[in-house]
Amino acid sequence: MANILVIDDDSMSRDLIAEMLAEKGHKTVKACDGKEGLQLYDTTRFDIVITDMIMPDVEGVETIIQLKKNYPDVKIIAISGGGRISAYSHLSLAEKFGVQKTLAKPFRTNDLLTAVDELLEI
Amino acid sequence: MGDKREMDETGNGFSRLRDEAEGKLAKSLDAAPELEGRDPAEIIHELRIHQIELEMQNEELKRFQYALEESRNKYQDLYDFAPVGYFTLSRKGLIDEVNLAGAALLAIPRQKLIKMRFSHFVAPEFQNRWYLYIASVFDHEEKQNCDLTLKREDGSSFHVMLDSIRIDGPAEQQGENGVNHRLRIAVIDITERKRAEETLRESEEKFRYMTENSTDVIWHLDRNYCFDYISSADERIRGFMQHEVIGTTVWSLLKPEGIEHVKHMNAQRLSDEQNGIRTGTVRYELEQICKDGSWIWTEVNVTAHHDQNGELIGLHGVARDITERKREEEALKLLYAAIEQAAEGIIITDPAGIIQYVNPAEEAITGYNRDELIGRTPSIFKSDEHDEAFYWKIWETINAGNVWSGRFINKKKDGTEYHEDASISPVYDKSGNLINFVAAKHDVTKEIELQQQLLQAQKMEAIGTLAGGFAHDFNNLLQVILGHLDVILSVPDLPEKIQSSLNNIDRAATSGAELIKGMLLYSKKMPFKFQPVDLNTIVTSVKSLLRRTISKNIKIETLMAHDLSVIKGDSTQIEQVLINLAINARDAMPDGGGLTIETRTTVLDEEFCLSYPDLKPGRFVLLSVTDTGKGMDQETVKHIYDPFFTTKEPGKGTGLGLSVVYGILEKHGGKIICYSDPSVGTTFRIYFPAIEEVPE
């Protein structure tokens, strides 16, 4: 049972991910963008952060950079429905900035739960 | 002179002499008493001896007189028939004697001239000179001469030179002071000589005028190469006055290299002259110094000057300032070099369009050398891409005096077509006559190819962005669908009907996801897993897959290099590329054929990469897929990487295949090039950058 922060600007995605995690008994806190997510992490050390990449205001990459900078041990799963920054996809870029797992939407519930379990074992 | 009258006169003379002698004898007998008492025979003997002596003396005298007469006659003849007019004038200037020539000069009979005044025949304007002259002759013993003009009674005049000397006249004509001087004048008609002198003077004057007024410098050097003459043009050209140059040597004008050259040529000239070879004109181009210290270029023509014996006594020369011409020559050389070395092709034709000149760049562009083009017209380059109206429009434009600019699709010597941007301009001379057309051409074939590639890339980019945006949103929606499906499917004991429906929804949504993945791949959205890849392994596995799925009437052949370099790539994606190409090849051969997959290592050089800017020269692994199917025309080939472009029937293909392939290869740093011919088939060549060694 883990405490997981879900950052996604799409409410349906947020709710769905929360529901998927709830299946396994994980607790989730939802944030609608990177700014909110960072604020929340400052107050609570979540076990895992799941963050979407394409978001308004503070983007996924920026969120990851800030988290990694302030909390080097943070465990992050980056998710994305597409998009590209120069030669890299968002997810490959996220990997470059140190996220441990990436999932491309649409992913299955099992894919998500497996990624979470693997991260918790580390 | 031997005539009868003169002989009679001589006879009378002799009898007068005898009378005189007898008279004298009579006187002497009276005064000669010593004869008395002498023997008469002795006296007679002595008298006879005397007589004989006298006769002998008489004979001697006769002979002497005869000789005298003869001499007198001879000199009279010489006098009379001399070619020069001889006059003898008295102290008063009257004509005492004149020879036939003199009478002929004055056109008056000799007898009539006697006692005429010579001054009567002197032209009025020379009267003073005449009087001063004869006064001078009478005052001097030596010969005096003078020239003046004589006038005949008919009014005609002629020029004469007078050579005069004072002589003693006959005693009975002695003057009061006891002297009787006369003048003997030789009158020489110098009319012709004067005319010749005048003509010569005029001629010299004319040549002097021409020499001094010529814009070229005319000069003469003596044996020591010193100037003894230089025309005033030198002052105009070099600033030196004539007297500053006369006496100086020619070496003082020239630069050391000029001196050396001239000395060398002169040595040759001297040697030739000494060997009896008459040298002609030698031409030099030499720099000469000016008074202000500057140097000018001159063209100098030098000719040997020989005396009457053929000895070389000097050099004539004409020098011309060619500084301006040299400058123009240099400018022309520069212009010529510029045109010869220009990267643009240049063709010059005459007004009829006949090629007169092509530069090396044009030879390189067209594949023809200049000998093959000169004399031909530019129609030699015609492809079938333009109609006659196109060419007529050009001709019309340039003949109206305007410049035509545009693009040609021309044909090289080897038959390949190329694009060129050209401008054709008419050229006129100073009188406004059309003398040439000049065309400047720029081969833009490569540029067009690159532009098309760029356009293609931009198209891909634009579509990629669109697709990316669409995919992102669609994925989010699919996430919701599939996510919730998972939730529902996790509910135990679902009715079978609901389970079945949910499964269908799952399949549909998943297919949608796959479709979007394909599109994302195309727009490079998928993260790739790059690792060292041996293409031969992929080819082998794909071949077995293909063999199972492709009909037997298509022969599949693989040619794999043993020493194939390793590449860095995503095996799955590369498999997808190969499968995609193989499927397209199969579809191009509905009635069977051959499919060949080849791998080898190759090196791409700079020249090759010029056409493909996203390729860097180096070592590559080539994967080629060739079919013997129906091929594609060039127009189709241009669009094969466009997303949704397909030549297949509806339902047989989405058209995403090659656009995905293109995207994958771009991600790999590779390049795909298509060669196709409707009568032969198609080859796709894919270049992957090779890596040197397998990383750990």
Q: Which CATH architecture describes the domain A3-121?
A: 3-Layer(aba) Sandwich (3.40)
Least confident of A10-24, B129-143, B454-468, B503-517: B454-468
pLDDT at B28 over 90: no
Measured in whole angstroms, the distance separating CA B308 from the mean position of its chain's CA atoms is 39
B658 part of contact set with chain A, CB < 8 Å: no
Which pLDDT band, with edges at 50, 70 and 90, does A86 fall under?
Answer: very low
CA distance B147 to B451: 102
When CB atoms are compared, the residue of B471, B486, B525 closest to A109 is B486
pLDDT at B491 over 60: yes
Closest residue of chain B to A107, computed from CA coordinates: B479
Q: Is the pTM of this model over 0.90?
A: no
Q: What is the mean pLDDT of residues B44-58?
A: 88
Instruction: Report yes or no: B283 and B314 within 8 Å, Cβ to Cβ.
Output: no
Least confident of B99-103, B234-238, B290-294, B543-547: B543-547
When CB atoms are compared, the residue of A20, A81, A95 closest to B483 is A20
For B142, the 3-state DSSP assignment is coil
Q: What is the mean pLDDT of residues B349-375?
A: 96
Which pLDDT band, with edges at 50, 70 and 90, does B115 fall under?
Answer: very high
Is the complex ipTM higher than 0.90? Answer: no
pLDDT at B387 over 70: yes
Task: Chain A: give the shortest CA distance to residue B618, in Å.
Answer: 22
When CB atoms are compared, the residue of B464, B469, B490 closest to A23 is B490
Q: Which CATH architecture describes the domain B82-196?
A: 2-Layer Sandwich (3.30)
Residues in chain A closer than 8 A to B481 (CB atoms): 106
- Most B CBs within 10 Å, among A11, A21, A84, A85, to test the B interface: A84
Q: What is the mean pLDDT of residues B37-53?
A: 85
Confidence (pLDDT) at B46: 86
Q: Note if the bond before A106 is cis, omega within 30 degrees.
A: yes
Which pLDDT band, with edges at 50, 70 and 90, does B359 fall under?
Answer: very high
pLDDT at B337 over 80: yes
Q: Do A82 and B481 touch (CB under 8 A)?
A: no
pLDDT at B666 over 70: yes
Q: Do B483 and A89 touch (CB under 8 A)?
A: no
More confident residue, B590 or B36: B590
Q: Which tens digits make up the pLDDT trace of B168-180?
A: 766 655 555 656 6
Which pLDDT band, with edges at 50, 70 and 90, does B526 fall under?
Answer: very low
Which pLDDT band, with edges at 50, 70 and 90, does B97 fall under?
Answer: very high
Spell out the domain ranges in chain B. 4-29+38-78, 82-196, 214-327, 342-443, 449-522, 531-691
Domains B214-327 and B342-443 share a fold: yes
Residues in chain B closer than 8 A to A84 (CB atoms): 464, 468, 523-525
What does the DSSP assignment read for B226-289?
A: BEEEE-THHHHHH---HHHHTTSBGGGGB-HHHHHHHHHHHHHHHHHHHTTPPP--EEEEEEEE
Task: Chain B: give the shortest CA distance to residue A87, in Å.
Answer: 8
CA distance B487 to B503: 13
The reply to whether CATH 3.30.565.10 applies to domain B531-691 is yes
Least confident of B196-200, B220-224, B543-547: B543-547
Residue B454: count of CB within 10 angstroms of its CB: 11
Q: Which CATH architecture describes the domain B449-522?
A: Orthogonal Bundle (1.10)
CA distance A49 to A37: 9
Closest residue of chain B to A92, computed from CA coordinates: B527
pLDDT at B137 over 60: yes
Least confident of A56-70, A87-101, A105-119, B455-469: B455-469
Q: Do A104 and B479 touch (CB under 8 A)?
A: no
Of A33, A104, A18, A103, give the one whose Cα is nearest residue A66. Answer: A33
In order of B345, B364, B369, B420, B430, the CA distances from B439 in angstroms are 8, 16, 17, 11, 20
Q: What is the mean pLDDT of residues B382-396?
A: 93
Task: Chain A: give the shortest CA distance to residue B456, in Å.
Answer: 18
Q: Which tens digits make up the pLDDT trace of B598-643?
A: 999 999 999 898 888 778 899 999 999 999 999 998 888 888 887 6
Q: In CATH, what number does B214-327 get?
A: 3.30.450.20
Task: Chain B: give the shortest CA distance to residue A92, in Å.
Answer: 6
B473 part of contact set with chain A, CB < 8 Å: yes
B503 part of contact set with chain A, CB < 8 Å: no
Residues in chain B closer than 8 A to A109 (CB atoms): 483, 486-487, 490
Confidence (pLDDT) at B692: 65
pLDDT at A10 over 70: yes
When CB atoms are compared, the residue of A17, A19, A83 closest to B525 is A83
Measured in whole angstroms, the distance separating CA B528 from the mean position of its chain's CA atoms is 69
CA distance A107 to B656: 23
Which pLDDT band, with edges at 50, 70 and 90, does B277 fall under?
Answer: confident
Closest residue of chain A to B529, computed from CA coordinates: A92
Measured in whole angstroms, the distance separating CA B324 from the mean position of its chain's CA atoms is 14
Which pLDDT band, with edges at 50, 70 and 90, does B587 fall under?
Answer: confident
B492 part of contact set with chain A, CB < 8 Å: no
Average pLDDT of chain B? 86
Q: Which residue has the tokens 């998710």?
A: A79
Task: Chain B: give the shortest CA distance to residue A30, in Å.
Answer: 16
Name the token pair of B12.
């009378």
Confidence (pLDDT) at B695: 44
Beta-bridge partner residues of A102: A78
The reply to whether CATH 3.30.450.20 applies to domain B342-443 is yes
